[in-house]
Amino acid sequence: MDLCDLSVIRTLLEEHGLRMQKSLGQNFLIDPEVPRRIADSVGEADEVLEIGPGIGCLTAELCRAHPRVTAVELDAGLIPVLAKTLAEFDNVRVIHGDILKTDLPSLFSPGSRVAVCANLPYYITTPILMELIASPVPFVSLTVMVQAEVAARFTAPPGGRDYGAVTVALGAYGTVKKLFSVSAGHFYPAPKVDSAVVQIVPRETPLLAEKERPVFRSVVRAAFEKRRKTLANALASLPHGRSKEELGAILSSLGFPADVRGERLSPEDYASLARALFPQ
């Protein structure tokens, strides 16, 4: 069964009385090369977590490439569809649920190398990624398909117009790179924008200790909530009791001019700044 064939997709949906759920950002791939490329890019893993399998075109490729696959699907209507489309595989389990409400560590065997694959709808992309990078599960990689403009934000260098708080958060977690683009014509129904596949590989040595992460997040949030202001002015609202002059001196000690703006600092710079503002 070719799960990227448009006639097969339509037949499956009709058989189960289903329609596309725009509220869930559903767009199904109709080019079999795309899920194959995504599955091949995951790398070595004992288990793969797929978020939003749809009708299972990527799931099937993951099952062929990896020992165990867990797919979490929010749309209850797709669960019986997946039971049919994945019937040939004995190394997959499909869970009906909301990934943001799922106990992720309970899904996997202790010590397993777990990778993540997902085709993330725009409206929930950032919340899901923030949940994943905050999870205690030591993922070996996160390979996600997102809107092209979102991919640009995820991979933007410091100083660029797309550089923001989410860029810093992902950069603090690991190395972020764009793997390839996917044009709108590869989906049914075709979305209005193109997509891109991005991969995040966690740092071997975490940039931040567990106790440092809340402070780091507060500093980054403050910096980008008021990004038109200088960083010293933006950080003045934090509960550290320091004046703008003191903040300017701290920035200078880290090698930045007192009037630097937040988009100029790298994730490593923000880690140093957080430690300077709130020494443990």
Q: Write down the domain spans for the chain.
A: 6-202, 210-277
| pLDDT given at position 221 | 94
At the topology level, CATH places domain 210-277 in Helicase, Ruva Protein; domain 3 (1.10.8)
β-bridge partners, 142? 116, 200
| pLDDT given at position 206 | 94
The whole-angstrom separation of Cα 240 and Cα 217 is 15
| pLDDT given at position 20 | 62
| pLDDT given at position 159 | 92
Contact 41, 117 (CB under 8 A): no
At the topology level, CATH places domain 6-202 in Rossmann fold (3.40.50)
Q: For the chain, which residues score pLDDT lower than 70?
A: 19-26, 280
| pLDDT given at position 1 | 85
Domains 6-202 and 210-277 alike in fold = no
The whole-angstrom separation of Cα 229 and Cα 254 is 19
Q: What sections of the chain are H helices per DSSP? A: 6-15, 33-41, 57-65, 79-85, 125-134, 148-154, 165-173, 213-225, 231-235, 244-253, 267-277
